[in-house]
Amino acid sequence: MKILITYSSQTGNTQKIAKSIHSAIPEADILSVSEIINLDYDLIFIGGWIDRATFDETTLTLAKQIFDKNVAYFFTLGAYPDSDHAKDCINNIKNLLKENNNHVIGGYFCQGAIAPKLIAWFSTLTSDHKMAPSEERIKRWEDAKSHPNKEDLKKSKEFALSILNKLNQNK
Ligand SMILES: Cc1cc2nc3c(=O)[nH]c(=O)nc-3n(C[C@H](O)[C@H](O)[C@H](O)COP(=O)(O)O)c2cc1C
């Protein structure tokens, strides 16, 4: 079975997850989205960072080009994994992949540290702006700083193996 792990990552969080998945499935090809030559795979792990409640633009463009495949998705986000925002991200990504008749086997996501540049920009916003620093947001940015952590990486490996199991059961 030919397996691809592909990802887009600006600051390294999603790349860490991609590498961790690869460590669980070393026979898979691991390529950043820009390195992909073809999509001739039996299973594609597609991963991106979250931008406005869906995959970042690079991953989004790739996702729209995947048809009739077995796929599993992964992402990192600044929001808490148990938030409504994370649920929206899951739905948006699942629906996107399903639209092209892909078989979505499962997904994994965890929090990822927010780029310091972005936090610096948030800090310039006046308090009436919806992204302006608040006590709740500052805490969330602090909490995100340590992710992906050891536990996230361990869970992403378990996720990778569970996808292979599910696929084998469906055969
Ligand atoms: C331009 C921009 C937009 C973002 N939008 C969101 C968002 O809508 N929701 C969210 O939870 N996180 C958002 N984030 C946070 C990132 O998704 C998160 O920090 C992610 O782990 C970055 O992954 P990377 O290191 O692989 O680039 C945004 C980050 C950037 C830079």
Q: Is the pLDDT of residue 35 over 80?
A: yes
Judge residue 147's burial from the number of C-beta atoms within 10 Å of its C-beta, 0-12 exposed, 13-18 middle, 19 or more buried.
buried
Q: Give me the CATH topology for the region 3-112+148-169.
A: Rossmann fold (3.40.50)
| pLDDT at residue number 170 | 76
In the chain, where does the domain assigned CATH 3.40.50.360 lie? 3-112+148-169
Give residue 46 CA to ligand 1 midpoint distance, Å.
Answer: 16
State which ligand 1 atom lies nearest to the alpha carbon of 12.
25
- Expressed in angstroms and rounded, the spacing between residue 136 Cα and the centre of ligand 1 is 17
165: CA distance to ligand 1 center in Å? Answer: 30
Pocket test for ligand 1, best of 10, 33, 50 (most atoms within 8 A of CB): 50
Q: Is the pLDDT of residue 23 over 80?
A: yes
In the chain, the percentage of residues whose pLDDT exceeds 70 is 99
- Each residue's pLDDT tens digit, 105-155: 999 999 999 999 999 999 899 989 988 999 999 999 999 999 999 999 999
| pLDDT at residue 126, rounded to an integer | 92
The atom of ligand 1 lying closest to the CA of 148 is 21
Whether the Cβ atoms of residue 93 and residue 127 lie closer than 8 Å to each other: no
Nearest to 117 by CA among 141, 101, 96: 141
Q: Nearest-CA neighbor of 98 among 60, 56, 133, 64? A: 64
- The confidence score (pLDDT) of residue 130 equals 86
156 lines ligand 1 (CB under 6 A): no
Q: Which two tokens stand for residue 165?
A: 């199991």
